[in-house]
């Protein structure tokens, strides 16, 4: 089964990390071969190319420019005629809005992969509803519950994101060297957050909470993530100003975008991402747990399916005092960090083992493979 995955590709976050994992773990589902098409050049297309599977280009469509959308649809139509695919998957409603009609006209069912838990009120979701997806794959039960409310006639299934095993073990010397490069001593407790620079990810809440822990002598915070849009650059500037105003600028490192996230997580001690709004899943929580970090986050959305009292702490969203109290305990109590971290290492295998989830993806996509398309009938008969 050849599967074409369509993504915008202009930004890089959990969706894009998930797509690279699909390629990396393809061998876990024998008989399922992933292929990719992106609308814009960016980090995703570069990473896929470096992995030996450069994506097909879909000509940079913008909904504000109808001619660019028409050009992109023609590019996809030509690709579907040129290549032999069994399933085409649109990642996020935007891709479904742009390409759903082309996919259905080519004889394929419309499969939508939903990575964000929304209420269906956004204009893109309303347009996506018109496309009538046949199958919606959702990254958590929380996402599926919300999606089924605005796509009531679409079959909705849950697939947790597969997460690869850590690519390498980190030696003590490597860990120490990385910490020194970010001005953290061996005695510091490093609190790290790895995410897009979006306000709902709660970086400002984290800095506010840490500003209440200045009496604790040895902690450092790493904010990992680069600005990809003008709004994110503005948010970064506000975060930097907040750190200065709260007197913690010397203890906070804004690292920008990094390609060594697994190493950064392995060099840290606590993962904290106090979301102010619910998100569908939270791939970075799983990646942090894989590194043995206890996770502190808000008790909302898909995080509640990942984090529990055995491996982390859930706090009320926006409750700075509660967050500060939880961080204080973990910074001071190395025993609590060790116990939670040990249990955290087990969660990725329980929830996101690649073999389990890749085979589930294969099984669900097989349910919409209906046999040869009309355009291919003569080819099948000839064989």
Domain 2-162+353-382 coded CATH 1.10.287.90:
no
Sign of CA dihedral 113, 316, 333, 182: positive
CA distance 111 to 91: 9
- Stronger pLDDT, 152 or 170, i.e. the higher one: 152
Q: Over 80: is that where the pLDDT of 280 sits?
A: yes
Give every strand in the sheet of 295-298, ordered side by side.
252-256, 219-224, 189-194, 270-273, 295-298, 312-315
User: Is the distance from CB of 214 to CB of 250 less than 8 angstroms?
Assistant: no
Reported as type and span, the H/E element at residue 189 is: strand 189-194
Q: What is the pLDDT of residues 165-194, one digit of tens each?
A: 876 678 889 999 999 999 999 899 999 999
Q: What is the pLDDT of residues 235-252, one digit of tens each?
A: 999 999 999 999 999 999
Alpha helices for the chain (secondary structure H) = 14-24, 43-50, 66-82, 93-105, 123-130, 141-150, 172-181, 203-210, 230-245, 261-267, 283-290, 320-332, 334-344, 347-352, 354-366, 377-382
Q: What is the pLDDT of residues 58-90, one digit of tens each?
A: 999 999 999 999 999 999 999 999 999 999 999
The angle at the Cα of 213, spanning 211 to 214, to the nearest 5 degrees, equals 75
pLDDT of residue 14: 87
pLDDT of residue 382: 32
Query: Which pTM was predicted?
Result: 0.88
CA distance 308 to 351: 13
The rounded radius of gyration (Å) of the Cα atoms in the chain is: 22
pLDDT of residue 44: 95
CA distance 180 to 148: 48
Q: What is the pLDDT of residues 259-274, one digit of tens each?
A: 899 999 999 999 999 9
Q: Over 50: is that where the pLDDT of 378 sits?
A: no
Q: Over 70: is that where the pLDDT of 366 sits?
A: yes
Beta bridge partners of 111: 89, 135
Domain parsing of the chain, residue ranges: 2-162+353-382, 172-352
Tokens representing 111 are 């499969």
pLDDT of residue 167: 63
Backbone angles phi, psi at 223, to 5 degrees: -100, 110
Q: Over 80: is that where the pLDDT of 51 sits?
A: yes
Say if 2-162+353-382 and 172-352 have the same CATH topology. Answer: yes
CB burial class (10 A; 0-12, 13-18, 19+) of residue 315? buried
User: Mean pLDDT for the chain?
Assistant: 93
CATH of region 172-352 = 3.40.50.2000
């Amino acid at each position: 089964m050849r599967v074409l995955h369509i993504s915008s590709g202009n930004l890089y976050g959990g969706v894009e990390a998930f797509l690279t994992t699909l390629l990396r773990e393809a061998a876990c589902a024998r008989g399922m071969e992933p292929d990719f098409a992106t609308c814009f050049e960016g980090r995703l297309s570069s990473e896929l190319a470096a992995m030996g599977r450069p994506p097909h280009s879909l000509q940079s469509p913008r909904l504000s420019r109808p001619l660019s959308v028409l050009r992109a649809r023609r590019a996809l139509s030509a690709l579907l005629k040129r290549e032999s695919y069994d399933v085409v998957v649109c990642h996020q409603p935007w891709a479904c809005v742009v390409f759903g009609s082309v996919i259905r006209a080519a004889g394929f069912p419309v499969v939508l992969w939903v990575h964000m838990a929304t209420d269906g009120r956004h204009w893109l979701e309303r347009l996506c509803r018109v496309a009538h997806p046949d199958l919606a794959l959702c990254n958590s039960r929380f996402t599926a519950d919300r999606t089924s409310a605005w796509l009531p006639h679409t079959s909705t299934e849950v697939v947790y994101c597969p997460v690869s095993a850590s690519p390498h073990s980190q030696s003590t010397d490597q860990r120490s060297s990385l910490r020194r490069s970010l001005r953290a001593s061996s005695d510091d407790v490093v609190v790290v957050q790895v995410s897009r620079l979006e306000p709902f990810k709660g970086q400002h809440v984290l800095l506010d909470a840490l500003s209440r822990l200045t009496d604790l002598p040895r902690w450092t915070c790493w904010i990992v993530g680069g600005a990809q849009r003008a709004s994110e650059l503005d948010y970064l500037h506000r975060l930097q100003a907040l750190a200065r105003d709260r007197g913690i600028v010397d203890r906070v490192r804004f690292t920008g975008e990094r390609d060594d996230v697994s190493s950064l997580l392995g060099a840290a001690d606590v993962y904290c991402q106090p979301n102010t709004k619910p998100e569908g899943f939270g791939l970075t929580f799983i990646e942090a747990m894989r590194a043995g970090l206890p996770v502190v986050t808000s008790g909302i959305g898909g995080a509640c399916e990942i984090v529990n009292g055995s491996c982390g702490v859930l706090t009320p969203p926006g409750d700075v005092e509660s967050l500060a109290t939880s961080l204080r305990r973990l910074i001071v109590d190395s025993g609590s960090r060790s116990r939670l971290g040990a249990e955290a290492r087990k969660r990725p295998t329980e929830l996101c083992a690649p073999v389990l989830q890749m085979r589930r993806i294969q099984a669900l996509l097989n349910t919409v493979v209906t046999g040869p398309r009309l355009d291919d009938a003569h080819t099948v008969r000839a064989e």
